[in-house]
Amino acid sequence: MRNALPFLLPAWPFLLLASSSAAAQVAPIPTPTQLPGDPFYIRKHWVIGGAGNWGYLALDPAAQRLYIAHGTVVQVVDLDSGTLAKQIVGFRDARAIALDDENVNGYVSDGAVSAVTVFDRRTLAVQSSIPIGCSPDSLAYDPSSKLVFAVCGAARSLPQPAHQGDRSQQPVAFGVSHLVAIDTAASNAVLADVAVPGELRVVQTDGNGRVYVTAAESRLQIARNGAQNSVDPVRTIPPRIVLFDSSTLVNEAHRWFAEQKKQESDGPARLDVGENNPSNSLAQFLRLPAGCTEPHGFAIDSKNARIFAACENQQLLVLNAGSGQVVATLTTGPGDDVIGYDADHNLIFSANGAGYGSLTIIRQDATADTYAVIQNLPTLARARTLAVDPSTGIVYLVTDTMGVDLSPRGALTNIKPAPIEGSFQVVVVGH
């Protein structure tokens, strides 16, 4: 941004900004219970530039590449050199990246155009764009079914024209999200669109066909015959994790096509999940405790059937992946967003982007099923997303440096924090 400068102001304006930052930090970072003999530290900062807000990261250990969804581009960073290898362009709002298990294709959610873009991982060229009828955010690839799952939160999931026909006489659901399944083995066709009550956030797969999606507390209302003045009573849906089995979803989609006497080329199967329907076997609902506000990012330990879920109130829950039972609760830091899991080293990482920024590192004793915070590493403000390289144990975060925009004229209250142009960077953490 033009005229955005670091905080080189007189002492009293700086105090105003510092006070604002302190207020943003809800609570102090907790003291670790045990510091390892070889603690993590920030090894390097790779300044790669770029503008706009960023989304999720994806790491390709085989190619040693880090993919960053960053505004209108996907930045591709070479992990050997720490340089920007290329930018994949042509997006309106890149949010997340999923990689297939054949090292061939990558998938990018482009929320502004209600599509998922396919690119070739070998050439980094865009191959196609898949319209999905809603605005996607989080993505995940399931190797067992060869499906890419895209999440459209309720706020972004009001009926769209694509694949849906005339909906003027159908109920309109406010507070309903969508999980869209794309069949990568069938020319990247949209196989199914599953309507799920609640505010879906982040999707993850365990590699064995089980698909998990976090859902925040939300309100559900149905408008009959498209009329917003004729609605069902508002219903509050508690925070939870919604669990799907990919093979069951595929079977349900094919059953739907048979019943509707349609072909997959006519558009996706329209499936609906209702938690009060006892005959519905498509999804299982793992209710989260009331103390978990706004669940967002999470990671899965498929070997030991554990879920590590971040709650907005600086709590990380360890859950039984089958029953949803809470195994442990740990304190992380303000602004905890994305969770990473290193199965080779039994470590869990929480990227906390509020306040001054921190990385909470948790050690897992899988034999005893116990967990402890072993280190809280100060990072940088807004470093809220991460990716873990299991081959090296290195953690990558991204953020930018904030300054102030001096272009507004008038009162000091017009001076606002602003990102410094070209300051976007990768923070490399190791031990």
pLDDT of residue 103: 92
SS3 270: strand
Q: Which tokens hold the place of 125?
A: 């060229």
Shortest CA distance to 154 belongs to which of 69, 230, 235?
A: 235
pLDDT confidence tier of residue 16, bands split at 50, 70 and 90: very low
Q: Which residues pair with 419 in a beta bridge?
A: 402
Burial class from Cβ neighbours inside 10 Å (0-12, 13-18, 19+) for residue 231 reads middle
The sign of the CA dihedral 21, 23, 28, 29 is negative
Query: What is the H or E stretch that residue 17 is in?
Result: helix 11-24
What's the mean pLDDT when you consider all of the chain?
Answer: 86
pLDDT confidence tier of residue 411, bands split at 50, 70 and 90: low
Q: What is the pLDDT of residues 312-343, one digit of tens each?
A: 899 999 999 999 999 999 999 999 999 999 99
pLDDT confidence tier of residue 25, bands split at 50, 70 and 90: very low
pLDDT of residue 220: 78
* Most confident of the following: 6-10, 11-15, 215-219: 215-219
CA–CA separation, 386 and 364 (whole Å): 19
Segment 30-53 shows an average pLDDT of 83
Q: Which tokens hold the place of 12?
A: 């009293």
pLDDT at 224 over 80: no
Q: What is the pLDDT of residues 163-176, one digit of tens each?
A: 444 444 455 567 88
Contacts of 14 (CB under 8 A, 6+ apart): 7
For the chain, percent of residues with pLDDT exceeding 70 = 81
CA–CA separation, 25 and 327 (whole Å): 27
CA–CA separation, 225 and 114 (whole Å): 24
Segment 238-254 shows an average pLDDT of 95
CA–CA separation, 34 and 373 (whole Å): 7
Question: Which residue bears the tokens 């039984």?
Answer: 320
The secondary structure of 182-241 as a DSSP string is: EETTTTTEEEEEEEEESEEEEEEE-SSSEEEEEEE-EEEEEEGGG-TTSBPPPEEE--EE
Segment 356-375 shows an average pLDDT of 95
Higher pLDDT, 62 or 221: 62
Q: Which tokens hold the place of 198?
A: 């609640």
pLDDT of residue 403: 84
Task: Enter the DSSP assignment of 359.
Answer: E
Strands 139-142 and 126-131: unpaired
Segment 133-155 shows an average pLDDT of 95
Query: Over the range 299-330, which residues count as b (16 or more CB within 10 Å of their CB) and which as e?
Result: bbbbeeebbbbbbbebbbbbbebeebeeebeb
CB 173 within 8 A of CB 222: yes
* Most confident of the following: 32-46, 144-158, 404-418: 144-158
pLDDT at 279 over 90: no
pLDDT confidence tier of residue 274, bands split at 50, 70 and 90: confident
3-state SS of 273-307 is: CCCCCCCCCCEEEEECCCCCCCCCCEEEECCCCEE
Question: Which residue bears the tokens 């990568």?
Answer: 184
CA–CA separation, 357 and 385 (whole Å): 11
CA–CA separation, 28 and 427 (whole Å): 22
pLDDT at 234 over 90: no
CA–CA separation, 337 and 214 (whole Å): 12
CB 340 within 8 A of CB 381: no
pLDDT confidence tier of residue 291, bands split at 50, 70 and 90: confident
pLDDT confidence tier of residue 217, bands split at 50, 70 and 90: confident
pLDDT at 378 over 80: yes
Segment 23-31 shows an average pLDDT of 50
Sheet of strand 94-99, all strands in order from the earlier edge strand to the far edge:
94-99, 105-110, 115-120, 126-131
Contacts of 294 (CB under 8 A, 6+ apart): 216, 217, 239, 311, 312, 313
Long-range contacts of 151-157 (CB under 8 A, 24+ apart): 151/177, 151/178, 151/179, 151/180, 151/200, 151/201, 151/202, 151/203, 151/213, 152/177, 152/178, 152/179, 152/180, 152/200, 153/177, 153/199, 153/200, 153/201, 154/198, 154/199, 154/200, 154/218, 155/199, 156/111
What one-letter code names the amino acid at 233? Answer: P
Tell me the pTM. Answer: 0.87
